[in-house]
Amino acid sequence: MLAIQLTQFGEPEQSLKVVDIPEPGTPAAGQALIQVEYAPLDHHDLLLAQGVYPVRPELPSVIGDEGAGTVLAIGPDATRVRPGDTVLLPFGTFAWSEQPRG
């Protein structure tokens, strides 16, 4: 699965890399697996990459803090969404990744 990953805080053109990461597994309790349909690049993402935004994930980390998509699967105890629902990604869910389509 390809993702844009932040490797260090600094200038985005030097600190953001396209990497291959493991595909997500089956959702755990209270989780949902979402096919991201829209994940924009906005100024918050660039500020995060530079290290000046209040959110500072542990590195390396996929970033991209906004998005919308379709629920593919839910884990046990996930009661607010169902497969097929269109959802906004919760704050802190980083979305710049893509699972190849077969």
| 40 contacts 80 by C-beta, under 8 angstroms | no
User: CA dist 88 to 20, 67, 69, 74, 78, Å?
Assistant: 25, 6, 7, 15, 16
At residue 64, the 3 state secondary structure works out as: coil
Q: Are strands 86-88 and 32-38 parallel, antiparallel or unpaired?
A: unpaired
Two structure tokens written together for 85: 């629902």
What residues does 88 pair with on adjacent strands? Answer: 68
The residues that are catalytic are: 53
